[in-house]
Amino acid sequence: MFFSDNCGTSGDDSLSKNQAFAAAKQRQNINQDFPLRGFVNCAACDRPMTAGWSKGRTARYPYYICQTKGCSEHRKSVRKEAMEGDFRALLVELTPVPELLGMARKMLSRLWDAQHKRHASSALDAKSKAQALAQKSEAVMQRLMDADDPKLVNVYEKQIVKLKGERRLLLEKAKNPVPQQAGFEQLYRTACPFLSNPCKYGIQEFWSTKNCS
């Protein structure tokens, strides 16, 4: 018998608080037991595999399994040890040589710089457009002061409200902080140990990563 991990995800409002808590706890446990659950895809249908425990006569056995109906591998299971062993081997293969890491750093730094420039240019552009809107708003205000026709007054008032709204949005865009180079250094320092030696980190790291996203 296979125990699916489809626990407490139905969104059923009739679940009591205790049941919801128990379901959440069960979900957390299954994530800890199967860190690659939802992270590895079935070789046949390319859909994320799920995981669970099968019950033998004297013990329970952990498996990853494809639950996609119609898939040729539907309900064919892979032992947890085999799946995670293969994954570790893959991580070893992924370990980059230092030259490659240096190249990746340069590329990422260039991308960061380009993004920084785009961001700064966009903020300047927003500031300039906000100034133009302020002048336009001032001109409409002047026409409003000179207008006698109530219909025209109404039109000008609406225009001013609209222009002020647009200007406020542009000023918010102009105020957004521009990411600094120091931000890249910090990001890279955090990512570098993992990128340079992914197999050093346990598979549980992937479970943590999944929960950060």
* Binding residues for Zn ion (CB under 5 A): 42, 44-45, 66, 68, 71, 73
CB of 27 to Zn ion, least distance (A): 22
One-character DSSP codes across 72-125: TTBT-EEEHHHHHHHHHHHHHHHPPPHHHHHHHHHHHHHHHHHHHHHHHHHHHH
Q: Which is nearer to Zn ion, 8 or 48 (CB)?
A: 48
Q: Which is nearer to Zn ion, 15 or 71 (CB)?
A: 71
How is residue 38 annotated by DSSP?
Answer: T
Q: Which is nearer to Zn ion, 75 or 110 (CB)?
A: 75
- One-letter amino acid at 206 equals F
Q: What pairs with residue 53 in β-bridges?
A: 3, 62
Q: What distance in Å separates the CA atoms of residue 193 and residue 188, rounded to the nearest whole number?
A: 9
Q: What distance in Å separates the CA atoms of residue 28 and residue 13, rounded to the nearest whole number?
A: 20
CB of 38 to Zn ion, least distance (A): 13
CB of 69 to Zn ion, least distance (A): 9
Residue 27 in contact with residue 7, Cβ under 8 Å? yes
Token pair listed for 83: 């799946």
CB of 42 to Zn ion, least distance (A): 3
Q: Which is nearer to Zn ion, 73 or 166 (CB)?
A: 73
Helix (H) or strand (E) holding 62: strand 60-65
Q: Which is nearer to Zn ion, 45 or 141 (CB)?
A: 45
CB of 3 to Zn ion, least distance (A): 19
CB of 47 to Zn ion, least distance (A): 6
CA R_g for the chain: 29
Q: Which is nearer to Zn ion, 44 or 114 (CB)?
A: 44
Token pair listed for 101: 């890491």
Tell the residue number behind the tokens 């960061």, with chain if given: 112
